[in-house]
Chains A and B, each alone.
Chain A
Amino acid sequence: MRGKGGGKTGDAPDLLSVEGVSVSFGKRKILDEVSFTVEPSSIVAITGRSGAGKTTLLGMISGLMKPDSGKVVYKGQNILRWGDFRRSRFRNREIGFVFQFFNLLPDMTSYQNIIYPAIISPASRSLKEKVDYLVGYLGLEKIVHQYPATLSGGERQRVAVARAIINSPRIILADEPTGNLDERSAGDIITLFRTLRDENGMAIIIATHDSRTVAGADVHLNIDNARLQRIEPPERRKKARRAR
């Protein structure tokens, strides 16, 4: 991963790169010439004040929003030039979303929420097994047939994570995933992200204010006055990263 002007920190090829992205809402500049790359098996934390443009940046990466200028390159292709159909497919298969307010569909059970992105994309014969595996993996057995309204915040977020990874995406975009959780649940989610990074090779991009999340990230980017700055991690984390 490298931020603007930063050197490459690992040997892995880039999974995604944001190149010179600028966004304005009216006269207000939200992002100004933002560039960075994301490697597989990495956690990227994006910080910044409220309204700094973190969520907007996630929107650009997922292809949900279009910048005024710049590129978002995935596997060598600028996703912003794709049509809606292809970008939707990209979001469905390559990206998983986790939100601060969980954003589960309230009229569906946990099981249905988890399976929903998979039924949008073609069904696998092993879909049920896959959901069962995730349910077991995330410890959702007891709540799998409950509706979101009856779940705790931590449980809802775990269901949201299960939904995000049901299609085995390469990137997870998390918008304040721990913002609405107690300390312990937040810790569980961060651990879960690390596991996904280490065992499944996923890249996780987190927009956050939580210092613990930032501390667990491989890369820390901060948006200030529409500009992206890379914050160098402490030396011990660099070492841990290299060792991995």
Chain B
Amino acid sequence: MKIRSGMEDFKRNNGPVLCGLNLRRIFYRIRMLTNVPEGAIIRSDRHGNYLDSADCGSSLSAAWNDKKKMKAFLLYVGRNLYFSMREIVRNILRSLLSSFGIIFLIAFLVLYLSLRQSIKEYIGGTLFGTLDINEIVVSPPASGAGELISIGGRTEKIAPDRVRRVRAIPGVAMINSIIRMEYPAKVKLEMFGRSVREYMPVYGISPSFLRKSEKRWRSFVPGAEVPVIVPKFVLDVFNNLAAARGLPQLGEKALWGFPMELVIETAARGAPERRKYDQPARVFGFSAELPLTGLVVPSDFITRFAAAHAGDPGAIRPGFSYAQLVVTVKDVKDLPEISKRIKALGLRVESQQDIASKTNKALAVIDGSSLVIMGIFLFLTVIAIFNSYLTIVYNRSYTFSLQRVIGVSKARIILTFVFEAAVIGALFGLVGYYMGVMAIGYLKHNMPHWVPVLKGLALKSDTGGLLPLAVGLSALLSSVSAFIPAVFASNMNLFRAVQK
């Protein structure tokens, strides 16, 4: 005995299946949507006499099995599509005006999403730094605690005894300290025949702290030339300064290996007797991870220099202070407890969660303002599209009325009009998307000149994933805006309209 499979039964009852889709049911749905009567693909004989549905075959399956009738059906769908597309092309100029706002809305959306992502990375990477899950940043108690953006460029310091007490907390695996040189230091640069001298904070970090840094930096041994790492933020500030002085702005490539001199004074600024030491230095690299507002050198250089010049007249002692500590804990589970104990010492603690929370806080501000702008844009666009489509409806009232008279149903008029609006919307969504991409390209190129401090903000031009969203959203927006005018179109006073 042959046992039929479940699928065979299903096919017998429901018709052919292709890739899991029930074709007969789909065909039936399409037919209902496009107004094809059941079993009446052909309804006139060669003399033009009407044939009842029953004469043409009693069920849809008959039509399905007849390839010629299927061809006729496809022809019917094709012709309808042709006329729909024809209407779209005919009204494209009018629709262009009505849907113009969509282009700007989508362009703004693309730009906003790109900006948002870039700002997120900028804030996370440049301002707050990046931390591993088992790391905590310990900062001195600040007067502006709880601020949105905190940078290790303050004058507050962590007292050495506090550093020792932190080190003594059980569960602490390692502490990497960021020290600040207390001696006033000037950076001396020779650029384009002009000498630039500026006081700048100098920070020291252990060479092993920057895991992804230059090999030569990690293997630094005190020598003649001090290797300098420039945090991105400092580079942006430097370029701002350069722009203010009419000097050209320099990128990472131009500054790589750039020679400079650190002029270090061992006494406080304004002290009657000050000794100055010129220390040759060279730019060795850049870092987006260091949330510091000065140049970064190996901490050994600062500690050795301080030790060597502690006896200078009026010398500042001990010559350096702790600006920040990066504490690595042995077990992540202990992180809350260790954070608590560090906070009890009167220090500020920032973990990855705190950074995430701050980033989210900053993004919420950006999102909020962008949403307000987009909301206004959206509202104006929808009103404009609605109004324009309403005008289009009245302009085309004659056509709609005539269509109703010759047998087009209300639902079909609404569907056709909304379909037209969706196609137009999708088209303009595409245009808006590429306008947004062009705007990104333009801003990417020009924004560093307009706002040099944002030089480090790398706008994301890889927005390919946004294309379907832009097109879909635009089509949806256009269709929704056209829906009510479409309902008006389907409810025209028919005889009055055709008697015009």
Query: Using a CB–CB distance below 8 Å, which chain A residues touch chain B?
Result: 55-56, 58-59, 62, 64-65, 84-85, 88-93, 95, 97, 99-101, 103, 105, 107, 116-117, 119-126, 130, 133, 163, 165, 167-170, 200
Contact = CB atoms under 8 A, between A and B. Distances in A.
A137 B68 CA distance: 27
Interface in B113-139: none
Interface of B: 35-37, 40-44, 46, 48-50, 68-69, 71-73, 75-76, 79-80, 83, 90, 398-399, 402-412, 494-495, 498-500
Nearest to B413: A88
Given A105-B402, A125-B68, A168-B49, A119 B498 contact: no
A121 B31 CA distance: 11
Q: Is the interface of B mostly helix, strand, loop or mixed?
A: helix
A84 B48 contact: no
Contact of B36 (A85, A122, A133): A122
B216 to A, nearest CB: 75
Contacts of B398: 103
Contacts of B500: 101
B97 to A, nearest CB: 19
26 contacts: A55-B499, A59-B494, A64-B405, A85-B411, A88-B35, A88-B404, A88-B409, A89-B35, A92-B406, A93-B43, A117-B406, A119-B76, A119-B80, A120-B408, A121-B37, A122-B43, A123-B72, A124-B41, A125-B68, A125-B71, A133-B48, A168-B48, A168-B49, A169-B50, A170-B50, A200-B48
Contacts, number: 117
Given A59-B495, A123-B76, A130 B48 contact: yes
A55 B495 CA distance: 8
A119 B410 contact: no
B495 A97 contact: no
B432 to A, nearest CB: 29
A91 B50 contact: no
Contacts of B409: 84-85, 88-89
User: Which of A55, A100, A117, A119 has the largest number of chain B CB atoms within 10 A?
Assistant: A119
A116 B410 CA distance: 17
B405 to A, nearest CB: 5
Contacts of A91: 405-407
A124 B44 contact: yes
A84 to B, nearest CB: 5
Contacts of B408: 88, 92, 120
A64 B43 contact: no
Nearest to A95: B407
Most chain B CB inside 10 Å of its own CB: which residue of A91, A123, A126, A133: A123
Contact of A64 (B48, B73, B404): B404
Nearest to A104: B402
A192 B220 CA distance: 105
A105 B87 CA distance: 12
Contacts of A170: 50
Given A122-B41, A124-B72, 4 more contacts: A88-B35, A124-B43, A125-B68, A126-B46
A85 B76 CA distance: 18
